[in-house]
């Protein structure tokens, strides 16, 4: 069966950046399982898997605009240290959920200078080209319930 709209796909992957550094991998774990066409994975990877079959191995390169987007400078902001009330020690790398006009946004602390904390609301992989080494483990038709819910149920998916 070929990967198409409303098929359930299980695949192993290794994600690297352009420097060849491994950013993520399913090695030693169960394959990643998703409902094709439901927006469960980044668009560029989903497009790269379209029409493929179980057992295939391939490399998919995803440009930032089809991955986690370009870096948006307006999502990098300086905020006063007292905005982190109740947090004893704020350090670079810490993540917080900020309330914005557009709703909640995960931000990462990138720098602290005196009483000023710089936070970045961009995804950590924004602006990066992503290189996926993929092996497709299984492809099957989605159940009607999976299609209605927009995600995979059972093994590798959501249990309701």
Closest CA to 136 of 18, 6, 22, 10: 10
CATH of the domain at 78: 2.40.10.330
What whole-number distance in Å separates Cα of residue 68 and Cα of residue 25?
17
Task: Please report whether residue 159 resides in a domain.
Answer: no
Please state the separation of Cα 110 from the chain's center in Å: 20
pLDDT score for 102? 85
- Domain identity same for 86 and 18: no
- Domain identity same for 139 and 64: yes
10-residue block means of pLDDT along the chain (160 residues)? 97 96 96 96 98 98 97 95 90 92 92 96 96 98 95 73
The structural domain count of the chain equals 2
Closest CA to 113 of 76, 80, 73, 72: 80
Task: Please report whether residue 155 resides in a domain.
Answer: no
The answer to whether the CB of 42 falls within 8 A of the CB of 62 is yes
Domain that holds residue 89: 73-120
Task: Please report whether residue 43 resides in a domain.
Answer: yes
- Domain identity same for 28 and 102: no
Task: Please report whether residue 156 resides in a domain.
Answer: no
Task: Please work out, in degrees rounded to the nearest 5, the angle formed at the alpha carbon of residue 70 by the alpha carbons of 26 and 113.
Answer: 95
């Amino acid at each position: 069966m070929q990967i198409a709209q409303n098929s359930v796909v299980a695949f192993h992957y290794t994600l690297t950046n352009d420097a060849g550094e491994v950013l993520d991998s399913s090695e030693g774990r169960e394959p990643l399982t998703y409902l094709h066409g439901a927006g469960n994975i980044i668009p560029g990877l989903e497009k790269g898997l379209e029409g493929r079959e179980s057992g295939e191995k391939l490399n998919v390169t995803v440009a930032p605009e089809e991955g986690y987007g370009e870096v948006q400078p307006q999502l990098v902001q300086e905020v006063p240290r007292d905005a982190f009330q109740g947090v004893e020690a704020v350090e670079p790398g810490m993540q917080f959920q900020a309330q914005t006009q557009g709703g909640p946004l995960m931000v990462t602390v990138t720098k602290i200078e005196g009483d000023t904390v710089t936070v970045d609301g961009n995804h950590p992989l924004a602006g990066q080209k992503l290189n996926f080494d993929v092996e497709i483990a299984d492809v099957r038709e989605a159940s009607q319930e999976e299609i209605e819910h927009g995600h995979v149920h059972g093994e590798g998916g959501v249990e309701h």
